[in-house]
Amino acid sequence: VLDCKQHFLFNKHMPNEYLLGIDLGGSKIEAAVLNQQGELCFSHRVATPQGQYAATLDAIAELIHCAEDALHLRFDQVGIGTPGTLSSVTGAIKNSNSVCLNGQPLREDLSQKLAREIRLSNDANCFALSEATDGNAADARSVFGVIIGTGTGGGLVSNGQLITGANGIAGEWGHNPLPWPSPDELDATTCYCGRSGCIETWLSGPGFSRDHEQHSGKLLDAAEIYQLANNGEASCQQSLDRYIDRLARGLAHVINIFDPQVIILGGGLSNMQCLYTEVPKIWSRYIFSDNVLTELRRPKFGDASGVRGAAWLFKP
Ligand SMILES: [Zn+2]
């Protein structure tokens, strides 16, 4: 970081060489500065003020000033990643699990408060953009980035650029119904979005946990089920097998539409290493092609992809 700082002092006239990203999460807000090569030059995080919109804006402003003071630079552009989507109708945040953001014109408020150009994108989009730019999908022209964690999200990248979509929801596969359902999957759980049988209700961590409890009577979280399956516990292995089959179907559905070269998994459940070998063995049953070249890959940056992708929102 010191080397970077020296570098900045001599390059003040070229601020566009550097990109500032903010990851606004439910529990923390993180800032990062990358250079054009993707090297991390500055990073700092603070706790998210819980349920307080105005204090959240203040915290973001403070982080930006902190980065600028440390690097002796002013950033005219700031990329921000956050849960939820910017409504293309009202300009307000929708679908965010940080509920104090919902209904707020976050981009507008930040650009006024900060007098800077703000680009705002969904956290799953930032994940996809990060991995497609200099992560484990940097060699691919078409990428589907998938978050499987407390919820399910997704983002699409084509030729290095995010596909945002007419409604701002491109890649949001989690609220389609689970495809090719078996008869026992038709009696589905209601999702927070108001529909039932959503992919998210099966493939999120809580969804995996709920399915295991329904079959075994035991309440375990996703990491525990995975651990016990690896230790040879039969009911956990069966739950894991069902999860793998459902993930294969959910991804096959996307491959049939977008046909990406690479799918990258992120979020807590992407740590289940068996997914990368087992899911591609199954998905070809559901894909409309005699030969499937799409590759399923691990993330390179993991949790750091949110803030990195936010910075890359202003990549040239
Ligand atoms: Zn839903």
pLDDT beyond 80 at 105: yes
Q: Ligand 1 centroid to 192 CA: how many Å? A: 6
CA atoms within 13 A on the CB side of 120: 25
Q: Ligand 1 centroid to 199 CA: how many Å? A: 7
- Name the band, by pLDDT with cuts 50, 70 and 90, for residue 261: very high
pLDDT at 188: 79
Rounded mean pLDDT of 168-192?
Answer: 91
93-94 and 85-86 beta bridge pairing: antiparallel
Q: Ligand 1 centroid to 190 CA: how many Å? A: 8
pLDDT at 96: 78
8 Å CB contact between 21 and 305: no
pLDDT at 302: 86
Q: Ligand 1 centroid to 149 CA: how many Å? A: 14
Q: Ligand 1 centroid to 102 CA: how many Å? A: 17
pLDDT at 131: 98
pLDDT beyond 90 at 6: no
Residues around ligand 1, an ion, CB closer than 5 A: 175, 191, 193, 198
Beta strands in the chain (DSSP E): 18-24, 28-35, 40-47, 77-82, 85-86, 93-94, 117-122, 142-148, 152-158, 161-162, 262-266, 295-297
Q: Ligand 1 centroid to 175 CA: how many Å? A: 4
Rounded mean pLDDT of 119-128?
Answer: 94
- Name the band, by pLDDT with cuts 50, 70 and 90, for residue 16: low
Mean residue pLDDT of the chain comes to 92
Q: Ligand 1 centroid to 174 CA: how many Å? A: 7
Q: Ligand 1 centroid to 89 CA: how many Å? A: 21
pLDDT per residue over 214-260, tens digit each? 999 999 999 999 999 999 999 999 999 999 999 999 999 999 999 99
Q: pTM of the prediction?
A: 0.92
